[in-house]
Amino acid sequence: MRKMTGGFGALLLIVSVGCSPKFYVPNTQNVPMISEKGQASVSLAANGNQGEFQAAYGISSAVALQVNAGIVRPREEDNGDGGSGQLFEGGLGYYRNVSPTVLFDIYALAGFGKMKNDFPSTLAASPNTTGKIEADILRFGVQPSLSVHRRHFSLSGSARISSLRYSNIQGNLIFGGVNQVTYLTDNKTSVLIEPGVTLRLGSEKFKLQVQVARSINLTTSDFKQDESLATVGIHYRFR
């Protein structure tokens, strides 16, 4: 079985979950819908493998900041295979009220984190290895979004485009006859495009949130990563 390490951002993000190692798990996209100076938002989102905190603040009539933090820690497999990861991210963005009910924004994002995988199930076949791999993560990107909103409802479409890089890759893990340290070193940079949809329902300030997203690796189409994301959470926007 596989477990993978990931983190946030989200991130991001990077654990092994399933039947083979994976090295990237997308995090929930922070779509704060800041629409005026002095406005702030806070979100919590999660699924069975990861949990995330997100916040944003309008520092002027057109500029906002956001910060994100997340951890990935899926339940270990029966054979002890598992992993963990985390991502911390910040962003500076521009927003514009296209109309009273339509909002456009775009954020420049930078994040860092760490991932770790532990596969003790591989030690019997590869006794001279540790069954572990870990690496540092850097992710830089942009995220535009367009939101339609009413008092009790909002629907946002977003697309995060980012560059993902692994460094300080360490360990000794052989899986399926492949040296995973060599594999990750050979694929240490990727370009990702991640379209997502966020639905919020509730009161004017407090809403329940559902987000679904895809993660498409434009550099290595079969890179060992999760290709989809679904999280639920809460979103609070206030002055």
Distances 92 to 26, 184, 238 between C-alpha atoms, Å: 20, 30, 19
Q: Quick one: pLDDT at residue 213?
A: 98
Q: Quick one: pLDDT at residue 81?
A: 85
Region 55-64 average pLDDT = 98
Cα separation of 15 and 123, whole Å?
19
Instruction: Specify whether the CB–CB gap between 140 and 92 falls below 8 A.
Output: no
13, pLDDT greater than 60: no
Cβ-in-10-Å burial (0-12, 13-18, 19+) of 127 comes to exposed
Region 195-214 average pLDDT = 97
Q: Quick one: pLDDT at residue 22?
A: 86
Total count of domains within the chain: 1
Q: Quick one: pLDDT at residue 73?
A: 86
What's the CATH number where 226 sits? Answer: 2.40.128
Model confidence at 21, pLDDT cuts 50, 70, 90, reads confident
What would the pLDDT profile of 69-106 be if each residue is shown by its tens digit?
Answer: 999 988 777 777 888 899 999 999 999 999 999 999 99
67, pLDDT greater than 80: yes
108, pLDDT greater than 70: yes
Candidates 23, 13, 12, 10; CA nearest to 171 is 23
Tell me the one-letter amino acid at 27: N
Q: Quick one: pLDDT at residue 52?
A: 98
Mean pLDDT value across the chain: 91
Q: Quick one: pLDDT at residue 156?
A: 98
Domain holding 113, by residue range, is: 2-238
What would the pLDDT profile of 140-175 be if each residue is shown by its tens digit?
Answer: 999 999 999 999 999 999 999 999 999 999 999 999
Model confidence at 10, pLDDT cuts 50, 70, 90, reads very low
Which segment of 82-86, 193-197, 205-209, 222-226 scores lowest on mean pLDDT? 82-86
